[in-house]
Structure 1
Amino acid sequence: MNRTIIIGTRGSDLALWQANHVADKLNDIGISTEIKIIKTQGDNILNLRLDKLEGKGFFTKELEEHLLAGTIDLAVHSHKDLPTENPPGLKIAAVSEREDPSEIILILKDCVDFSKKLSVKHNGIVGTSSNRRQSQLLAVRPDLEIEDLRGNVNTRIQKLRDENYDAIILAKAGISRLKLDLSEFYIEEIEPTSELVPAPAQGVLAIQIRDNDEELNTVLQQINDAEVANCIAVERKVLNLFNGGCHMPLGCYCEREDDIFKVWTTKANSGEELPDRLYVESIITEGLAEKIVAKFDLEKRKLAKKVFISRELSEHSYFYRALAKHDIEIEARSLIKTVPTIHKLDSYIFRNVDWIFFSSKNGIEYFFKLNPVLPKDVKFGVVGRGSEDALRQLGKVPAFVGESSDVAEVAEEFAAIANGTHILFPSAKDSLRTVQKALSQETQITDLTIYETILVDDAAQSFADVLVFTSPSNVEAYFIDNLLEPGQQIVAIGVSTGKKFEEMNVPYILPSSPDEIGLAEAVFGIDIK
């Protein structure tokens, strides 16, 4: 190509980074470029919430007009800002690689409380103008106060510095691209499959051109990320089918792993409403968005009327509130009891310990009841966000959280960072030791049995539509005397619990994560006949 490509962009620091990033990609393949700054309507409107602007063309309309007029050849957009339909005469010719789509919470250091989920102090003021973020944030922290936050990334951060808020939420992608020094704040990162599902196409750049510019379209295929395009097509189709735009509290994130497309979706009707969450898997993307959207149509499908779960449950817990929203009756009772096996710890056991690893909330509870005097720099590892919450309630933040439902995967992830160290494992009698088995021979392992599990006698049968089992021991206790009723469906919190049902040749559903959010997603996705 002999022509110089004129790239149109907004003038913010982040927009300019994005334009220069695409320019560098084109320069690398021998294409000369020129950047032209264009002011958009979104840059001038300062009195509207950001979610009223994103996805409505306020940040893109003028760029698209210049494209159609031929004064620029290419426009670079943050993909999540784009409406789901291109204007006539334009198309998205390529997308970038995906920057980490996680959200981050920046917290003033004197407003940090490690005993709380997400580390923001009780009743803290959090800045965001996104209904999507607000609904999900209040779902896990209903005590927080949400205030509007406008401006570009630097403006928002300055508002936090000025103490207009105790914390603010931003997309990690923008922070990473601008390489900002945020050491004055405490930073909490929220992965896209956990408490805050990102906006469709978050972290991806869209390269828009005239649809008749075949020469440029051909060139751009050299920098197009086809894998990312495939995933975000699902996310944006979901957004399109809901026909809500970005003011809708909608999060959707798709990733491909081992040739399986995994999609997390969250949707509410307002920023104040507890969202419904769904997790689905598919080997193809065709019809996947339609399947997801259909699951949220509760006029055409039936949810469970009653759900049994094999643990005690607070009315304030996420799982309880997610089911109570739909008037689902909850039968919550544990089928096991636990008792301590030791009542005193010798201090020598902590000598040179680098890590303490917990595989359950019970392990945390019994360990800290022993009032251990721990080394100052010891790090904690846990399985699941439920165990993370239990540790946080004691004012301790784990350095490692294994979020997979498969403890074998958690073991591999932990081994990658902890091999060669000294690790203490407080655990139950007859624990499976899955994590220990994954560690190298150079790793010093200390097993500490601190409690044992006892099955209750004569566990009463449940006639609920869905039975949720939270441990292998609860499965054993229930099925000593009971059988499944016709039509009952099973949810097993993790792979080890699921193996009990495999031994019984009983089908079960495995949540995306071994915690109450994962369980709520699984139950919401079940159709009752």
Structure 2
Amino acid sequence: MKIKVGTRGSKLALTQTRMVVDELMRYFPDIQFEIQTIVTKGDRIQDVSIEKIGDKGVFIKEIEDALLLGTIDMAIHSMKDMPAEVTQGLVFTESPAREDATDTLVTSHNICSIMELPLNAVVATGSKRRSYQLLKMRPDIKVIGIRGNIDTRINKMLQQQLDGVILATAGLNRLKLQEAKDYNCMRIPMESMVPAPAQGILGIQIKEGRPDLLEIINKIKEPVTNLQLKAERSFLKTLGGNCHLPIGAYCKVEAEQLELIGLYGTEDGAFMLSHTMTGKHEDAQSIGNELANKIKAEVEAYGR
């Protein structure tokens, strides 16, 4: 049996895809996996912010088209980059174990906290969620936009002598970029910066009607990760989530209960708030929905 696996061509995308393939090969050594790199619109256009060229879908359309056409059998994505609505004819399987969900400040300064950055420091991020939460901690900081892969962003930070860049901890860990002589990595506590929904989780996407692939992929699913995914994606979907709005969510799973923290705000960041909700494991989806509606009502009431 041969399975064609589609992915973007960045170092991170290829690394994540190889991780999934390697894990699957442990259970199915006789299956031949072929990795195919696919260039997306988001990869081609690097000098314009995401919100100006489209939405999260600019990084996946060409890959999803390949799935629908049958030129690939499965695709590996960073789940945090996936739109809230799933494309008709495609489904996500259960996901493997999650990486660290937090964000990290990469800086050339020898410091231990964001509060130690110089006055009026210049920090780069392409995310409104990160930007607005950073400014809540340090209103003096100047936030600038940035595009590119992880290594590209770090190099831009160093070459342009910026004070820092904020990146997902998961990507840094997977590429083994946490330690270097030119910069320091400082993990930002979740209490200070709520991560994007599903940050650190890999999404495996296939065409509907492929029970053969579901059976194979289910060998590497991880229950806690998929419980978190259900709650966080439900929160995102209820808010109609896109990259134009600051949205964050993280689900903490305990033995009997789960605790979901959600973050939401206005597009300009003038008003942003977070709430927490707890409940039973089996209610993960409804908890995400209920928490989103509660926060959305408060944000929409702002300024009336």
The answer to whether TM tops 0.5 is yes
Structure 1 residue 48, shift from structure 2 partner: 2.6
Residues 293-442 of structure 1 aligned to structure 2 (within 5 Å): 293-298=292-297
- The residue that corresponds to 1:257 in the other structure is 254
Root-mean-square deviation (CA), in Å?
2.3
User: Aligned partners of 2:73 and 2:155: how far apart in 1?
Assistant: 35
Q: Check conservation: 1:55, 1:80, Cα contact below 8 A.
A: no
Unaligned runs of 5+ in 1: 303-324, 327-529
Structure 1 residue 118, shift from structure 2 partner: 3.9
- The residue that corresponds to 1:47 in the other structure is 47
Structure 1 residue 55, shift from structure 2 partner: 5.6
User: Aligned partners of 1:219 and 1:45: how far apart in 2?
Assistant: 35
Q: From the superposition, tell whether residues 5 and 298 of structure 1 become closer, same or farther in structure 2 (CA, over 3 Å).
A: closer
- The residue that corresponds to 1:289 in the other structure is 288
Structure 1 residue 191, shift from structure 2 partner: 2.7
Which residue of the other structure, out of 161, 167, 170, is the alignment partner of 1:170? Answer: 167
User: Aligned partners of 1:75 and 1:153: how far apart in 2?
Assistant: 20
User: Aligned partners of 1:278 and 1:54: how far apart in 2?
Assistant: 29
SS in 2 for 1:287: helix
Structure 1 residue 163, shift from structure 2 partner: 2.9
Q: Check conservation: 2:272, 2:299, Cα contact below 8 A.
A: no
User: Aligned partners of 1:54 and 1:258: how far apart in 2?
Assistant: 40
CA deviation map 1:123-155 (0-9, x unaligned): 100000100001111111111100011100111
Larger radius of gyration: 1
Structure 1 residue 54, shift from structure 2 partner: 8.5
SS in 1 for 2:220: coil
CA deviation map 1:319-349 (0-9, x unaligned): xxxxxx99xxxxxxxxxxxxxxxxxxxxxxx
Matched, 1:212 2:209: yes
Higher relative contact order (CA 8 A, sep 6+): 2
- The residue that corresponds to 1:27 in the other structure is 25
Structure 1 residue 41, shift from structure 2 partner: 0.8
User: Aligned partners of 1:144 and 1:229: how far apart in 2?
Assistant: 36
Amino acid at match of 2:134: L
Structure 1 residue 213, shift from structure 2 partner: 1.1
Structure 1 residue 10, shift from structure 2 partner: 0.7
- The residue that corresponds to 2:13 in the other structure is 15
Q: Check conservation: 1:5, 1:32, Cα contact below 8 A.
A: yes
Count of aligned pairs: 299
Q: Check conservation: 2:84, 2:240, Cα contact below 8 A.
A: no
- The residue that corresponds to 2:183 in the other structure is 185
Which residue of the other structure, out of 143, 155, 178, is the alignment partner of 1:158? Answer: 155
User: Aligned partners of 1:151 and 1:90: how far apart in 2?
Assistant: 27
Identity %: 34
CA deviation map 1:155-210 (0-9, x unaligned): 10101111342111000100100112433223221133x11101010001000011
Amino acid at match of 2:259: K
Q: Check conservation: 1:53, 1:59, Cα contact below 8 A.
A: no
Q: Check conservation: 1:41, 1:58, Cα contact below 8 A.
A: yes
Q: From the superposition, tell whether residues 98 and 271 of structure 1 become closer, same or farther in structure 2 (CA, over 3 Å).
A: farther
Q: From the superposition, tell whether residues 147 and 286 of structure 1 become closer, same or farther in structure 2 (CA, over 3 Å).
A: closer
Q: Check conservation: 2:4, 2:74, Cα contact below 8 A.
A: yes
Amino acid at match of 2:89: G
Q: From the superposition, tell whether residues 60 and 141 of structure 1 become closer, same or farther in structure 2 (CA, over 3 Å).
A: same
Q: From the superposition, tell whether residues 99 and 51 of structure 1 become closer, same or farther in structure 2 (CA, over 3 Å).
A: farther
Unaligned runs of 5+ in 2: none
Amino acid at match of 1:104: T
Q: From the superposition, tell whether residues 130 and 45 of structure 1 become closer, same or farther in structure 2 (CA, over 3 Å).
A: same
TM-score normalized with structure 1 length:
0.54
